[in-house]
Amino acid sequence: MKILHTADWHLGQNFYDRDRLAEQRLFLDFLLAQIAERHIDLLIIAGDIFDTANPPRAAEQVYYDFLTRLYALKHCEAVIVGGNHDSAPHLDAPRTILSNLNIHVVGRIPDAPEDAILRFERNGKRLCIAAIPFLRDRDVRRAIEGESFDAMEARTKAGIVETYRTLATLSTVAAPANEVCIATGHLTAVGGRLSDSERSIHIGNLGSISADQFPHEFDYVALGHLHQPQAVGDSEHIRYSGSPIPLSFSESTDKQMRLLTIADDHSLTQSTITIPLARRLLRFKGSADTVQLAIQELSVSDDELDPWIEVTLTEGDISPLINDQIRSAAAAKSAVVLKVGRQLKDVQLGNLPSESSKAISEWKPFAVFEKRIEGYDGDLAADALKQYFNHVLNAVQEDDAR
Ligand SMILES: [Mn+2]
107 in the same domain as 234: yes
Residue 379: its H or E element:
none
pLDDT digit string (tens) for 230-255?
Answer: 999 889 999 999 999 999 998 878 89
Q: Report whether pLDDT(304) > 80.
A: yes
Question: What is the CA(107)–ligand 1 centre distance, in A?
Answer: 15
Average pLDDT over residues 332-350: 73
357 in the same domain as 299: yes
Q: What is the pLDDT of residue 205?
A: 46
Question: What is the CA(99)–ligand 1 centre distance, in A?
Answer: 24
Report how far residue 208's alpha carbon sits from residue 267's, in angstroms, rounded to the nearest whole number: 29
pLDDT digit string (tens) for 103-159?
Answer: 999 999 999 999 999 999 998 889 999 999 999 888 887 777 777 777 888 888 899
Question: What is the CA(46)–ligand 1 centre distance, in A?
Answer: 9
69 in the same domain as 8: yes
Question: What is the CA(149)–ligand 1 centre distance, in A?
Answer: 25
Beta strands 125-130 and 117-122: pairing type? antiparallel
Question: What is the CA(86)–ligand 1 centre distance, in A?
Answer: 9
Question: What is the CA(198)–ligand 1 centre distance, in A?
Answer: 6
Indicate which CATH number applies to the domain containing 189: 3.60.21.10
Question: What is the CA(13)–ligand 1 centre distance, in A?
Answer: 11
Picking from 274, 304, 336, the residue at the C-terminal end of a domain is 274
291 in the same domain as 251: no
Q: What is the pLDDT of residue 346?
A: 42
| 204: confidence class by pLDDT, cuts 50, 70, 90 | very low
* Better-scored residue on pLDDT, 293 or 191: 293
Its domain, for residue 357, covers 281-400
Picking from 274, 309, 341, the residue at the C-terminal end of a domain is 274
Question: What is the CA(225)–ligand 1 centre distance, in A?
Answer: 4
* Better-scored residue on pLDDT, 203 or 153: 153
Report how far residue 4's alpha carbon sits from residue 34's, in angstroms, rounded to the nearest whole number: 9
Q: Above pLDDT 70, what percent of the chain?
A: 91
Question: What is the CA(15)–ligand 1 centre distance, in A?
Answer: 14
Report how far residue 178's alpha carbon sits from residue 132's, in angstroms, rounded to the nearest whole number: 21
pLDDT digit string (tens) for 61-101?
Answer: 999 999 999 999 999 999 999 999 999 999 999 999 999 99
E strand residue ranges, 249-315: 256-262, 268-274, 281-286, 308-313
152 in the same domain as 32: yes
268 in the same domain as 288: no
Question: What is the CA(243)–ligand 1 centre distance, in A?
Answer: 7
Question: What is the CA(1)–ligand 1 centre distance, in A?
Answer: 27
Question: What is the CA(27)–ligand 1 centre distance, in A?
Answer: 16
pLDDT digit string (tens) for 54-68?
Answer: 999 999 999 999 999
221 in the same domain as 118: yes
Q: What is the pLDDT of residue 314?
A: 87
8 in the same domain as 83: yes
Question: What is the CA(294)–ligand 1 centre distance, in A?
Answer: 31
User: Of 206, 160, 205, which Cα lies nearest the Cα of 183?
Assistant: 160
Question: What is the CA(199)–ligand 1 centre distance, in A?
Answer: 7
Question: What is the CA(147)–ligand 1 centre distance, in A?
Answer: 30
Question: What is the CA(186)–ligand 1 centre distance, in A?
Answer: 8
Give one DSSP letter per residue of 117-157, joined into a string: EEEEEETTEEEEEE------HHHH----TT--HHHHHHHHH
Torsion of CA 154, 156, 158, 161, to 10 degrees: -140
pTM (2 d.p.): 0.87
Number of domains in the chain: 2
At 378, the amino acid letter reads G
| 350: confidence class by pLDDT, cuts 50, 70, 90 | very low
288 in the same domain as 267: no
Question: What is the CA(48)–ligand 1 centre distance, in A?
Answer: 5
362 in the same domain as 329: yes
Picking from 274, 309, 333, the residue at the C-terminal end of a domain is 274
Contacts for 77 with CB less than 8 Å, ≥ 6 apart: 41, 42, 43, 102, 103, 104, 120
Q: Report whether pLDDT(358) > 80.
A: no
109 in the same domain as 47: yes
254 in the same domain as 124: yes
* Better-scored residue on pLDDT, 266 or 401: 266
